[in-house]
Amino acid sequence: MTSQVPCYTIINSPDMEVPNEMQLKQELEKGDTNVKIETLKKVIKLLLNGERYPGLIMTIIRFVLPVQNHTVKKLLLIFWEVVPKTSADGKLLQEMILVCDAYRKDLQHPNEFLRGSTLRFLCKLKEPELLEPLMPAIRACLDHRHSYVRRNAVLAIFTIYKNFDWLVPDGPELIASFLDTQQDMSCKRNAFLMLLHADQERALNYLASCIDQVHSFGDILQLVIVELIYKVCHANPAERSRFIRCIYNLLNSSSNAVRYESAGTLITLSLAPTAIKAAASCYIELVVKESDNNVKLIVLDRLVAMKEHEGMEKVMQDLVMDVLRVLAAPDIEVRRKTLALALDLVYSRNIGEMVLVLKKEVAKTHNVEHEDTGKYRQLLVRTLHTCSIKFPDVAATVIPVLVEFLSDTNELAAADVLIFIREAIQKFPALRALIIENLIEAFPQIKSSKIHRAAVWILGEYVEGPQILEVITVIQQTLGDVPMVEAEQRRLTGEQSTEEQQQGSTNSAGEGSTTGSGNASNKVTSDGTYATQSAYSLAPVAKAEKRPPLRQYLMDGDFFIGAALSATLTKLALRYAELEPEARSQNRLTTQVMLIMSSILHLGKSGFPSKPITNDDTDRIFVCLRALSERTPEAVSVFTLYCREALGKMLDAQADEDQRVLKEKQRATAKVQPDDPVLFAQLSNGRDNQLGENVFESSLNQALAGSKTAQQLSDVASPNSKLNKVTQLTGFSDPVYAEAYVNVNQYDIVLDVLIVNQTNDTLQNCTLELATLGDLKLVERPHPVVLAPHDFCNIKANVKVSSTENGIIFGNIVYDTALNTNVVVLNTIHIDIMDYIIPASCTDTEFRQMWQDFEWENKVTVNTSFTDLHEYLRHLLKSTNMKCLTPEKALSGQCGFMAANMYAKSIFGENALANLSIEKPVDDPDSKVTGHIRIRAKSQGMALSLGDKISSSQKQSVQAA
């Protein structure tokens, strides 16, 4: 293929003006050393950018090559690497013979740096005519006194043997004898690396001769030994028993890199419980001891991958306590991944120990103020919640710990605790008394209106028997004096409330002498004399008095909690009436409750609060008052039965949804077709698996998991099909035909461009020139190629991606013919945002929090030919790669409108939220769906790109219709 060109050292350079060749010659001939250095740098950059200066070679040989400056020597090595060394007909330039002589002199130079750097440079040469005269000098460098020269000589021989083995036919034998005499680890590593790739048998013999000393080798050599064992054991499984002990020994290496590679190799060679346990323990030690958070996350991913393997999961269950040691890391992502892993591995035998560790972690977070402390508390609460639901036996010990979070300033953690308490109190009737007792105790310390509201609901729903009066007493204490309007008026006039009087009487004993004179007080002046100050001369100062929490919420205008409180008090009064046979006690409690409700209504309309009570809250409180006064059977059953039934149905629906998601994950593994072949490791010669697959598992995976289903293979029209990634760049009638396969990786895009010469002429300097729009950046400029008549070649170009946005790549193909230079303009390549977006899930609370925090919003009007709301939702989810967070049951049925929340995440960690609000008349089945979609994201590009994608998918559906 004509596209095979050397890979050069890439030097990025800004746009620079192209100087005259005569000017460059003058500077190289007449300039001093510094001028020559700058000119050489300029020439190298110009050569890398595609310029050609054939006349400069002799000038550089005559005037620059003899210079002994080290900087000049280094620049010359780069220059000789990138300069074209052949003429147009493919023959070596005559001038290169002189250069070859200069190489030989440098290889015999007394300075070891020059020798070593020249040897490194020779690794990049692809011209055997230049290398052949240098072979004796390269061999002589193997015996040099300095290790820098020796190790680069080994690399040079390795590269030359790999490319032109006839130049050094005895290479493996030479290096094997060199390896036996070496003491320097870097030299031994390079020599062993060559034997590994060139002559595995010699490498194995050397390893067998020193297998007991492997633990004392340097880490660079140990890494190569691990690679050798990995390759040999996969190619020949019978060798496992010979070398697996060596891998076990390397698990205790002083180098973390060696231990990581050894653990990965061990679990591919053996699935014995001891091997799995040793590898997992090694990974855990690495996570605990390594300080870099990225390394911690990578190793945790390996542990998660091990856990996914059914055979390994059972062995790893005993290591849960070791996994929890990772929680000592301060990074929240590491902690999140660790807790998720521990939660998947924990089982009935060690759940008690895990809960003890989590309790200690909870205690540690109380007095620590860090930006991630709140998130960590939330994680711990959710983990303990899941533990208690999976293993009800530990719930009794977890509940008192979690209830302490209710008084926490972090509202999210407290909300998670209440979600747990709500589920536990419904599912575990035996724990209700314990939960109620802890909740009553923590109730006065709660600091948030939202948490108080949820706690009030739980107390009203589940309190029974004598605890009813206890709950009402606690509510009255946190509400303050009733009626509230009169209490507020007294506060304004300066009179003390009953509560404050009780508090004041306890403090009056020791302060009688100082407060004895109500109207005047004695003051001491600066000169020591006494002065009297009268109360009449003082301006009145308003005292910032603290109200009880529930009263403060109402004064701030939050009457929703007043409505929730009324519903709770109604439930308690109705339940008390069922338990208490005496009418007088029933009526006393009912009037007490009705007084509180009417007091809330009166306060809401009095003008004292910062906001008046809303009509909804007023109506709800009136309903509660009416239910208590009339006590119709329907109203009583709503308050005492139906609320709890609704909660039970909601929790059951959530459990069903979780089970469905779990089943979908398990169903994701494809089934094997009846006539698919099954591979057996015992019958395999092992030669098909040279790329590092686990041959011991490949046949098993083929039998159990299989490959893609027939439907997936036939679904060529799917958006993820590779054929849809091919973009035609030029027309079929253009002199040069081009098409590109767009391969999107995580952080870069690889364009594999096929270029076909459709003319009868040879195209010289055929260059693919690309440019980008959006958050894309071209990494390197593709090198020019020569295309024979009707020949073709593939050119690869890398584009770096840094954010989730739509991008455009455009450009042209420039080529020279015998007569002139021609340009073919290419079609634009649109980079689709869908390549970066993957469906994800989050809780309703997290969704609302992100919706509130994200500042960029894009509103897209629905314009479609769809007539069914559910069909449109499915089309939207398919075209945007988003996941619908609204449960299926909430969307079921036909009522003429639909609202749904959707969520997705990009591979860069960016979040995308969407809210769908659509409708259609129920009485007109042929009418089209109308409405809008609101998209929110943290970055503007994400919101706009997702909106453009939805608009374009709508246009396609309308055109198709």
Q: Is 725 exposed, middle or buried (0-12, 13-18, 19+ CB in 10 A)?
A: middle
Cβ–Cβ < 8 Å for 761, 797: no
Residues of the chain with pLDDT > 70: what percent? 84
Query: Residue 293 above 50 pLDDT?
Result: yes
Query: Residue 41 above 70 pLDDT?
Result: yes
Q: Which residue has the tokens 């020569």?
A: 786
Determine the pLDDT at residue 12.
55
Report the candidate in 407, 343, 428, 425 with the shortest Cα–Cα distance to residue 379: 343
Query: Residue 673 above 80 pLDDT?
Result: no
Query: Residue 707 above 80 pLDDT?
Result: no
| Residue 311, C-beta contacts closer than 8 angstroms, at least 6 positions apart | 271, 276
Residue 931 bridge partners (DSSP): 918
Query: Of the given ranges (102-106, 552-556, 752-756, 936-940), which has the lowest mean pLDDT?
Result: 102-106
Determine the pLDDT at residue 746.
63
Q: What is the DSSP string of 536-598?
A: GGSPP----PPPPHHHHHHHTT--HHHHHHHHHHHHHHHHHHHH---HHHHHHHHHHHHHHHH
Query: Residue 593 above 70 pLDDT?
Result: yes
Cβ–Cβ < 8 Å for 376, 339: no
| Residue 21, C-beta contacts closer than 8 angstroms, at least 6 positions apart | 53, 55, 56
Query: Residue 682 above 60 pLDDT?
Result: no
425 φ/ψ angles, rounded to the nearest 5 degrees: -70, -25
pLDDT, tens only, 299-350: 998 898 888 887 788 888 888 899 999 888 888 889 999 999 998 888 888 8
Q: Region 610-621: what's the mean pLDDT?
A: 91
Report the candidate in 153, 230, 161 with the shortest Cα–Cα distance to residue 184: 153
Is CATH 2.60.40.1480 the classification given to domain 724-831?
Answer: yes
Query: Residue 616 above 90 pLDDT?
Result: yes
Token code pair at residue 905: 């995440």
Query: Of the given ranges (24-28, 508-512, 673-677, 787-791), which has the lowest mean pLDDT?
Result: 508-512
Report the candidate in 19, 51, 89, 40 with the shortest Cα–Cα distance to residue 783: 51
Residue 618 has a CB neighbour count (10 Å cut-off) of 18
Query: Residue 714 above 80 pLDDT?
Result: no
**What's the CA angle centered on 305, arms 706 and 709, to 5 degrees?**
20
Determine the pLDDT at residue 532.
56
Report the candidate in 370, 383, 292 with the shortest Cα–Cα distance to residue 336: 383
- Domain residues of the chain, as ranges? 461-489+547-648, 724-831, 835-957
pLDDT category at 879 given cuts 50, 70, 90 is confident
Own/partner contacts of 266-271, CB < 8 Å, gap of 24 or more, are 267/306, 267/312, 268/230, 268/234, 268/694, 268/696, 268/697, 269/229, 269/230, 269/233, 269/240, 269/244, 269/696, 270/240, 270/244, 271/311, 271/312, 271/696, 271/697
Determine the pLDDT at residue 228.
81
CATH superfamily of this structure's domain 835-957: TATA-Binding Protein (3.30.310.10)
Token code pair at residue 457: 């609901």
Q: Is 497 exposed, middle or buried (0-12, 13-18, 19+ CB in 10 A)?
A: middle
Determine the pLDDT at residue 902.
93
Cβ–Cβ < 8 Å for 833, 804: yes
Residues of the chain with pLDDT > 90: what percent? 8
pLDDT category at 915 given cuts 50, 70, 90 is very high
pLDDT, tens only, 219-235: 787 888 888 888 877 77
Report the candidate in 738, 809, 812, 814 with the shortest Cα–Cα distance to residue 777: 809
Q: Region 187-193: what's the mean pLDDT?
A: 84
Token code pair at residue 203: 């490498």
Query: Looking at this protein, which amino acid is placed at residue 795?
Result: I
Q: Region 889-898: what's the mean pLDDT?
A: 80
Arithmetic mean of pLDDT over the chain: 80
pLDDT category at 686 given cuts 50, 70, 90 is very low
The residue ranking higher by pLDDT, 941 or 688, is 941
pLDDT, tens only, 221-275: 788 888 888 887 777 777 777 778 888 888 888 888 888 988 888 888 888 888 8
Q: How far is CA 91 from CA 53, 58, 84, 130, 817, in A?
A: 17, 17, 11, 12, 21
Q: Region 383-388: what's the mean pLDDT?
A: 88
Token code pair at residue 433: 């008394």
Determine the pLDDT at residue 17.
65
The residue ranking higher by pLDDT, 469 or 88, is 469
pTM of the predicted structure, to 2 decimals = 0.66
